[in-house]
Structure 1
Amino acid sequence: MQFARMVRIMAVAVPAAAGGAPAVAQIVNPVASPVRLQPHRAVYDVVLDETGPAMSISSISGRVVYELMGSTCEGYAQNMRFVTETTTTEGQVNTTDLRTSSWEDATSRRMRFSSSTYGNDQLAEQTQGTATKSDAPAKLADKPAAPPAPTAKISEAGPGAHQSLNIDVSKPARKSAQIGEPVYFPIDHSVAMIRTAKAGSRVFSGNLYDGSEGGEKYYFTAAVIGDASAKDELKAVPKLSGDAAKLDGLRSWPVAIAYFKPETRHFDQLPLYEMYFRFHENGITSNLLIDHGDYRLKGELKELTLLDQSPCK
């Protein structure tokens, strides 16, 4: 399900990026760089942008519907559905329907995740579970103890000083796993990257866990952040319907992010794939491009609806 993995990264970790340092991501002063994500519903049209001669794909077209809901005090929920049609060079047409949802608590310490993949209307893969950050080292990890992770809201928290991640998968079968390193969940990964951009830093890096790949794997991410667009230069995304005008006046940055297997984080290995996009300071993403080496996918933001923040009680 390599293609499905790329789609998930685009739509669920789309507001996420990182790059440049060791395994523990850089944390920028949250007071100096506050971040408030805008709940929204976004629709992206996806097409095959480029393919290499070794690939047996002649076309890919599809649509992503992504929804972000919640607030910094209640946590955030993400829902995504991506339906795509792939045509091979032999003329065979296959339909893929990927549905994912996740929720992160307000302290970025716990996440629920669920995903289902359908191929030609048949359920092909399903994952469901929870992940909880722990101050205790992983059972097999030979690492010195770290101080307890501070309690903070999503807008202030990075991966924290936790030492491990405890994973409990309930579907397709019950199993448990541990990751012996600090990780970002998708929302705090997004917030930390925007905070870094607002602070004027050009690079950011960290481990990302989103519950994909059976819920047991994580990825090292490394990103380079370009210059912010000046407010007087910004215009609404062309041909965008809905609340397009509300993007006017917001800063945004071009971002290039690479995804590595954790063991190849030393940058002397090629990434699994790379992603390019424009990241707006409220967490909305546009101008997507995923480069898998053998082929590239392009995603264009077509519809945008801003949603209300969940009230803090």
Structure 2
Amino acid sequence: MAVKGCKWLIPLGFLVLASGAGAAPLQMHRAVYDLSLGRTEAASDIAGIDGRMVIEWRGGPACGGYTSLQRVVMRVTGLDQAYMSNDIRLSYFEKIDGREFSYTRAEYTDGELTDRDDGTAVRADDGTIELSREGATKRELPAGVLFPVQYQRALVERAERGERIFELVLFDGTEERESPTTIFVSKQAEAGRDKLPDVKGAEVLQSAARWPIRISYFDVESEEGLPNFEMGITVFANGIATGMTLDYIDLEIKAQLKDLTLFEDGTC
């Protein structure tokens, strides 16, 4: 099965904090998504995918920053009906002023720990970032790289200004370096127009503004100029997403909201 190199963890920069004039505050929550296989190419050697993704947000100004937990558990079945399991976990904390970001990422394959990465990124006064990772040489990321909360602030503000295509650079711990991205924003959808999923708590989405967005993620060292991953998602102004489509080079994964737990503001 050609699963090596796929970015199973979902970049967190798309689902953090609305900001700007008239924007709704983030609804602290835990969202559970069912995962399934969409489009696939023969080169992928994959016949099926099933699993779940959990994304949780807590924090805010009273907590000094935002904490996120993400877990993706999948069973990947090959054309020969053999299968493997992936269990990937990411946790991070971003300070409210955007000056420091720390994360832990662990990956298990068939129950065995196969990868782990712990890091802390600190922004200097000139905007450059010093990234320290356990067991690795310190690395400098350029000024202009955004942590997830900063990334979403910039995305929403530019969408509110009516910008439809723009570029931002994200660092969120899912890759060893920064990820250049190109964002395509469709016209803001009418609140209450789309049918909401039949899950408890989804009523908070009824009156929320939303944007259909597509994000292309690039490898900073690639010279081909082609994205290695794309994501289509409808982002609600309160930070909740009902579903998304994850496009890799030779396969597509669909994620659909199945459970939603809402937390009170200021929950750390």
- Relative to the length of structure 2, the TM-score reads 0.90
Residue identity opposite 1:284 in structure 2: I
**Separation in 1 of the partners of 2:241 and 2:178?**
22
Could you tell me whether the CA contact under 8 Å between 2:192 and 2:208 is conserved in 1?
Answer: no
Runs of 5+ consecutive residues of structure 2 not aligned to the other structure: none
Match of 1:282 among 215, 238, 257: 238
Counterpart check, 1:94 vs 2:84: yes
> Deviation of residue 304 (structure 1)?
1.1
Residue identity opposite 1:250 in structure 2: A
Counterpart check, 1:181 vs 2:137: no
Query: Residues 180 and 14 (structure 1 numbering): CA distance in 2 closer, same or farther, change over 3 Å?
Result: closer
Structure 2 counterpart of 1:300: 256
Residue identity opposite 1:212 in structure 2: T
Match of 1:2 among 2, 5, 11: 5
Match of 1:126 among 116, 132, 143: 116
Counterpart check, 1:49 vs 2:15: no
Could you tell me whether the CA contact under 8 Å between 1:6 and 1:290 is conserved in 2?
Answer: no
**Separation in 1 of the partners of 2:20 and 2:84?**
49
> Deviation of residue 99 (structure 1)?
0.7
Query: Residues 234 and 48 (structure 1 numbering): CA distance in 2 closer, same or farther, change over 3 Å?
Result: closer
**Separation in 1 of the partners of 2:267 and 2:247?**
39
Query: Residues 69 and 287 (structure 1 numbering): CA distance in 2 closer, same or farther, change over 3 Å?
Result: same
**Separation in 2 of the partners of 1:260 and 1:85?**
26
Structure 2 counterpart of 1:38: 27
**Separation in 1 of the partners of 2:108 and 2:65?**
29
| CA displacement 1:99-118 (0-9 Å, x = unmatched) | 11000000111001001000
Match of 2:66 among 76, 82, 98: 76
**Separation in 2 of the partners of 1:100 and 1:55?**
25
> Deviation of residue 311 (structure 1)?
7.0
Structure 1 counterpart of 2:155: 193
Could you tell me whether the CA contact under 8 Å between 1:234 and 1:250 is conserved in 2?
Answer: no
Could you tell which deviates more after superposition, 287-296 or 110-119? Answer: 287-296
Alignment of 1:132-211 (within 5 A): 132-136=122-126, 162=127, 164-170=128-134, 173-211=135-173
| CA displacement 1:54-105 (0-9 Å, x = unmatched) | 1211111110111000014521000011110001111111011001100000
Residue identity opposite 1:196 in structure 2: R
Runs of 5+ consecutive residues of structure 1 not aligned to the other structure: 17-29, 137-161
Residue identity opposite 1:274 in structure 2: E
Match of 2:174 among 203, 209, 212: 212
**Separation in 2 of the partners of 1:256 and 1:285?**
13
Match of 1:227 among 171, 183, 187: 187
Aligned residue pairs total 262
Larger % of strand: which?
A: 2
Match of 1:244 among 182, 194, 202: 202
**DSSP 3-state at the match of 2:181:** strand
**DSSP 3-state at the match of 1:233:** coil
**Separation in 2 of the partners of 1:33 and 1:263?**
38
> Deviation of residue 33 (structure 1)?
5.3
**Separation in 2 of the partners of 1:271 and 1:284?**
25
Structure 2 counterpart of 1:103: 93
> Deviation of residue 52 (structure 1)?
0.5
**Separation in 2 of the partners of 1:51 and 1:128?**
33
| CA displacement 1:106-144 (0-9 Å, x = unmatched) | 0111001001000001000001120011134xxxxxxxx
| CA displacement 1:179-200 (0-9 Å, x = unmatched) | 1232111122122212222333
Identity of matched residues, % = 29
> Deviation of residue 8 (structure 1)?
3.1
| CA displacement 1:229-275 (0-9 Å, x = unmatched) | 2125244x223x2201111010101001101123569xx72111111
**Separation in 2 of the partners of 1:103 and 1:198?**
26
Residue identity opposite 1:254 in structure 2: P
Residue identity opposite 2:86 in structure 1: T
> Deviation of residue 34 (structure 1)?
4.5
